[in-house]
Amino acid sequence: MTPQLTDKYMVTIAERLTSAYARIADAAKIAQRNTNEVTLLAVSKTKPSEDVIAAYEHGQREFGESYVQEAIDKIAQLQSYSDIIWHFIGPIQSNKSALVAANFDWVQSVDRIKIAKRLDSQRPDDKQPLNILIQVNISNEEAKSGCHRDEIDELADFINQCEHLTLRGLMAIPAKSNDLDTQIQSFEQLQTCFDKLKTQYPQVDTLSMGMSNDVEAAISAGSTMVRIGTDIFGTRT
């Protein structure tokens, strides 16, 4: 028989969240940056609403989701938590864009004009403009998502002209590497793109990079938002 873990030995979501914040603070300190410059996005994909509530009760307000239908159900269940900020971070299929436009506050995975155009026309008039990050494919040849660096300008220009969208910055998921220098090199490429974009668009303020595996490298290269799932909610099945 498998012994049951008692509460005493269980690491709670609250404790993991505290550790995640401490890790961000340590990384910021090493990078000689202010911790307040880095937002933690808690990635709750595949995890139940109860887990989101546990994090919420510990002060977490920004949550990331990758699968449209699962996210819509969760957002509906958590409607009374009206100050949660929902970020869509997964690939967007055209036939799901209306649901994304209507239910999220941010979309971090816009990588083509066609999707930007749909989100703009489908964003309900009674809502604030949708905050948009352009997903860039850095150092990840296999990945199907993310535009090439050379395409950022054209996409940014398009998004900037959309009435229902606000361009806020860039997002990337580099190829997985356990080598710190390799991680930093990828993130610095994105940082260069971000610095340029900021000079063109004053409202651009968000560089979303860094996950459970590479928070330190991302923060050293100027990340303003790290997206952490596993370290907060545990492994996904």
Ligand X SMILES: *Cc1c(COP(=O)(O)O)cnc(C)c1O
Supply 43's token pair: 């990635």
| Region of residue 207 (phi > 0: left; psi between -120 and 50: alpha; otherwise: beta) | beta
Among 54, 167, 211, 218, binds ligand X (CB under 6 A): 211
Q: Distance between CA atoms of 127 and 178, rounded to whole angstroms?
A: 41
Taking the least distance from each CB to ligand X, the nearer of 160 and 212 is 212
Does 212 engage in binding with ligand X (CB under 6 A)?
yes
**Site residue total, ligand X (CB under 6 A):** 13
Residue 91 makes CB contacts below 8 A (sequence gap 6+) with 66, 109, 144, 145
Among 30, 124, 230, 234, binds ligand X (CB under 6 A): 230
Min separation Cβ 63 and ligand X, Å:
11
Q: Distance between CA atoms of 45 and 90, rounded to whole angstroms?
A: 10
Among 45, 58, 96, 117, binds ligand X (CB under 6 A): 45
Q: Distance between CA atoms of 66 and 87, rounded to whole angstroms?
A: 9
Does 19 engage in binding with ligand X (CB under 6 A)?
no
Taking the least distance from each CB to ligand X, the nearer of 26 and 164 is 26
Taking the least distance from each CB to ligand X, the nearer of 43 and 190 is 43
**DSSP states along 69-97:** HHHHHHHHHTTT-TT-EEEE-S---GGGH
Print the binding letters for residues 120-159 with ligand X: x by CB under 6 A, - otherwise: ----------------------------------------
Min separation Cβ 227 and ligand X, Å:
4
**Helix, strand, coil % in the chain, rounded to nearest 5:** 45, 15, 40
Does 74 engage in binding with ligand X (CB under 6 A)?
no
CA-based nearest residue to 89, from 208, 217, 236, 234? 208
Does 193 engage in binding with ligand X (CB under 6 A)?
no
Using the Cα atoms of residue 137, residue 139, residue 144 and residue 149 in order, give the sign of their dihedral.
positive
Min separation Cβ 216 and ligand X, Å:
13
Among 44, 60, 66, 191, binds ligand X (CB under 6 A): 66
Q: Which residues bind ligand X (CB under 6 A)?
A: 43, 45, 66, 89, 173, 211-213, 227-231
